[in-house]
Chains A and B, each alone.
Chain A
Amino acid sequence: MHQTTYHRASSISEAVKMLKEAEDGKFVAGGQTLIPTMKQRLAAPSDLIDLRHIGELKGIEVAGNTVKIGAGTTHAEVARDAALAKACPALCHLAAHIGDPHVRHMGTLGGSIANNDPAADYPAAVLALAATVHTNKREIAADDFFVDLFETALEDDEIVTAISFAVPEKAGYAKFPNPASRYALTGVFVAKHADGVRAAVTGAGENGVFRAEAIEKALVGAFEASALDGTTVPADGLMSDIHASAEYRANLIVVMAKRAVQAANGG
């Protein structure tokens, strides 16, 4: 790892100030992606501003029909939150299957979506749940937040503070983990809302997470796995690598969407 200077922020405003004073600073939350990336010298920020001790970024609130999750909430905390398990169990399931127990103790929701890894799990949930991403500057709709591989609408000194969403009628997530890395080779989050169905795909798109229109269309009439029989997703714009071709991923999207709908309907 190249040299860096560590700073610990105790508030959002202090973190922003620390970043402004740094030459080429970067925020770190759980660090489960950034620290390994720095160890490989693929990233070399001059300064690291640690957000992990900022109290206002933590916590899960379920109030009526609305869920709000602080960006600094760890995957382990999301996975075992009792109120969230009632409101949106699919999100608990998703969080419980990110990485491994040790990663889940450190990794955070905000860190995951701000990084926007094309194979990360959370972006699919945030997009399918039509969540709002709250930052220290504004509110961003999920549809506008994820821009490209590892790229979001966030500005350099902008910090994700929370996400919020309306409790869906039903939701489910299914992923096919890469047998070696366990990252999603393809993962699909489906959510049935009062005004329609949203299905978001991670792990497959060349430009990161995206909505699968063919899946959404097929599920509007009947929110059943069988409604996806015969549905196909175009391989255009999907990743091809040593693990899977674009055509294979296109097929996986339909298969994972079916499993996600089954999970949403109670297994």
Chain B
Amino acid sequence: MAEISMTVNGRKVTGTVEDRTLLVHFLRENLGLTGTHVGCDTSQCGACVVHLDGKAVKSCTMLAAQASGSEVTTIEGLAQGAELHPVQAAFREHHGLQCGFCTPGMIMAAVDMINRHPEGLDEKTVRAELEGNLCRCTGYHNIVKAVLAAAEAMGGKAVKAA
């Protein structure tokens, strides 16, 4: 068993888990943060994307023990109280979802993408940057629209994730 500790959404957490426990399972099962989804479980769909020390990663593709000592932000850590994060607000406004299963990963990927492109985003870049996130409902059109709108709302400048 591994003794692990990390900061999740600003809160220090500790746990004892099997060494083979994936980060996504630690978040969902030990911490009850079920906003992060397991979609394909084969490292392709991006539904499990969280931020690890400020960078988007697939939480199904790393052990919880690998993340020990890090800062993790999940979809639950974005909103400030009742006020949605600009990317969440843009997904609602532009209907960037249908069933919603991929949405947590899409939003975490979008926040990361906007942070990495302080110069602003265009449609081509957004589509290329969404390479690691699959959506089987929307055809991506409104997701791209939402990301572009959020990037603009965030001033085209780097904004901290949470």
Chain A residues closer than 8 Å to B57, beta-carbon distance? 102, 105-106
Of B2, B58, B65, the contact of A102 (CB 8 Å cutoff):
B58
> Of the candidates B2, B42, B61, B109, which one forms a contact with A101 in the assembled complex, judged by CB atoms under 8 Å apart?
B109
A35-59 vs B: 1/0 string, CB under 8 Å?
1101110000000101010000000
A6-B2, A6-B63, A99-B132 known; A105 vs B20 contact (CB < 8 Å): no
A35 lies within 8 A of B55 (CB): no
Among B22, B68, B131, residue most surrounded by chain A Cβ atoms (within 10 Å): B131
User: What's the count of A-B pairs with C-beta under 8 Å?
Assistant: 76
User: What's the nearest-Cβ distance from chain B to residue A175, in Å?
Assistant: 14
A76 adjacent to B55 (CB under 8 Å) = yes
Rounded to whole angstroms, the CA-CA distance of A236 and B113 in the bound complex is 43
Q: How many residues of B contact A (CB 8 A)?
A: 29
Total count of chain A residues near the partner, CB < 8 A: 27
Most B CB contacts (10 A, CB to CB) among A35, A102, A105, A182 go to: A102
Least Cβ–Cβ distance between B55 and chain A, in angstroms? 4
Interface status of B107 (Cβ within 8 A of chain A): no
- Closest residue of chain A to B108 (Cβ to Cβ) is A102
Q: Are B2 and A35 in contact (CB under 8 A)?
A: no
Name B54-104 residues within 8 Å CB distance of A.
Answer: 55-58, 61-63, 65-66, 68
Residue positions of A touching B, CB distance < 8 A: 1-6, 8, 28, 31-32, 35-36, 38-40, 48, 50, 52, 76, 99-103, 105-106, 182
